[in-house]
Structure 1
Amino acid sequence: MPKQTFLNLDESKRKLITDAFLREFATKPFDVASLTVVVKKIGIAKGSIYQYFEDKLDLFLYLVGVCSTTKFKYIGHIERKDYPDFWFYFRALYEHGVQFDLENPLQSQFLFQLMENLHSPSIKHLYQEMLEQSVAGFEEMVKHEVAIGLFRKDIPIQVMGFMLYKVGVSIQEHLIQFRVINPKISIEKNIPIYKGKKDKLMLTVDHYIQLVKPSFDKKSNQ
């Protein structure tokens, strides 16, 4: 958590510092990202950072929190009960996620690179923790669908939850592999990752849904 000295800064200075480090961590792994380089760019003393945060990790976790909070404002209000089946809900999460990207490109770029960033040796323990949290979230989605009789129950929830998590990962990797998006160029040009790409993203999501839906849905396996 940031120290009170950081919270006491005026909003413009907090944003300057936050954005500068978002860009640094979006382009470099945690262990390579440099506090020294950033403070030189924005013209503050390196010692100031330790007046604002306990250490580099504390700063990094603050950035994760900021971006996650912002994204939640876009997708947190989406409720499963408002959609006829899980896959309409799953699709809606992507649609609203695109809006987050278009309106908050730097935060989106940071989150896009987050799991790769967490492979840095000094914070690998965080990768496992966040992976477990992500998978647990998908397991809860699966539990709900099984409970209301829409998902099959002959496959362990843990298996289906992890598979659903991997579907999301595969969609992202697919878009990069086939050059629909290029996160590195987006960061260099300071433009949203999905600018002008929403239709292709949603078409890809629809294709993946078509592939995996029969494997999850109860009526497809009766």
Structure 2
Amino acid sequence: MPKQTFLNLEGSKRKVITNAFLREFAIKPYDQASLSDVVKELGIAKGSVYQYFEGKLDLFLYLVGECNQTKMKYIGEITRKSYPDFWAFFRALYECGYKFDSENPLQSHFLFNLIENLNSPSIKHLHNEMLSQTVKAFEEMVEYEISAALFREDIPVKVMGFMLYKVGVSIQEQLIFSKTIEPLKSIENNTSVFLNKKEELMKTVDDYIRLIKPSFDK
């Protein structure tokens, strides 16, 4: 959590500081991200960071929380019950994600690079904790579909939940592999991750849905 000294700053100054660190963690893994480089760019003393946060990890977790909170405002606009099946809902989540990316490009870049950050040796424990939380959310989705008699019951929930998580990872990796998106170039150009790529994004999502839907549906 940020210290009160950070919360007491003017909103515009907090935003400048937050955005500078979002950018740093979006282009570098956690262990390579440099507080010194950022404060030098901002023109403030490095000691200021420790007046605002307990340290690098505290700052990083603050950024994770801020980005997740913003994204949840978009995802929270939809509910599963508003869609005829899970796959329509799954697709809608990506529509919301595209809107989040368009309107919050730096936060989107940060979250896009989150897995690489969490794979840094010094915070590997966080990777396991956050992965568990993410997979648990997918498991709960699976449990809902099973209770509604829409998903098969002969495969363990843990397997199906983890598979859904990996589908999301695969979609992201394929878009990078195909050079449909190039995050590092995007952030250099101060544009969103998926700028003008909604059609390609949603086509990839639809392709994955067609591939895995028969494996999940009852």
Partner of 2:119: 119
Partner of 1:166: 166
TM-score (ref. length: structure 2) = 0.99
Determine the C-alpha separation between the residues in 1 that align with 2:116 and 2:30: 9
Gaps of 5+ in 2: none
Partner of 1:107: 107
Determine the C-alpha separation between the residues in 2 that align with 1:69 and 1:166: 22
Matched, 1:69 2:69: yes
Partner of 2:42: 42
Determine the C-alpha separation between the residues in 1 that align with 2:133 and 2:181: 26
% identical equivalent positions = 70
Determine the C-alpha separation between the residues in 1 that align with 2:115 and 2:205: 20
Partner of 1:23: 23
Determine the C-alpha separation between the residues in 2 that align with 1:49 and 1:172: 33
TM superposition shift of 1:171: 0.5
Determine the C-alpha separation between the residues in 2 that align with 1:116 and 1:137: 21
TM superposition shift of 1:77: 2.3
TM superposition shift of 1:72: 0.6
Runs of 4+ in 1 over 4 A off after TM superposition: none
Determine the C-alpha separation between the residues in 2 that align with 1:25 and 1:193: 15
Partner SS, residue 191 of structure 1:
coil
Partner of 1:201: 201
Partner of 1:132: 132
TM superposition shift of 1:133: 0.6
TM superposition shift of 1:200: 0.6
Determine the C-alpha separation between the residues in 2 that align with 1:192 and 1:153: 40
Determine the C-alpha separation between the residues in 2 that align with 1:49 and 1:196: 36
1:13-48 CA deviation, whole Å, 9 max, x = no partner? 100100000000111111111111100101111111
TM superposition shift of 1:76: 1.4
Amino acid in the other structure paired with 1:55:
G
Partner SS, residue 23 of structure 1:
helix
Matched, 1:13 2:13: yes
Determine the C-alpha separation between the residues in 2 that align with 1:143 and 1:100: 27
TM-score (ref. length: structure 1) = 0.97
Determine the C-alpha separation between the residues in 2 that align with 1:106 and 1:75: 18
Determine the C-alpha separation between the residues in 2 that align with 1:77 and 1:189: 30
Matched, 1:186 2:203: no
Determine the C-alpha separation between the residues in 2 that align with 1:81 and 1:47: 50
TM superposition shift of 1:176: 0.6
Partner of 1:81: 81
Partner SS, residue 107 of structure 1:
helix
Determine the C-alpha separation between the residues in 2 that align with 1:5 and 1:189: 32
Matched, 1:155 2:155: yes
TM superposition shift of 1:78: 1.1
Partner of 1:92: 92
Determine the C-alpha separation between the residues in 1 that align with 2:179 and 2:48: 41
Gaps of 5+ in 1: none
TM superposition shift of 1:195: 0.7
Partner of 1:52: 52
Partner of 2:175: 175
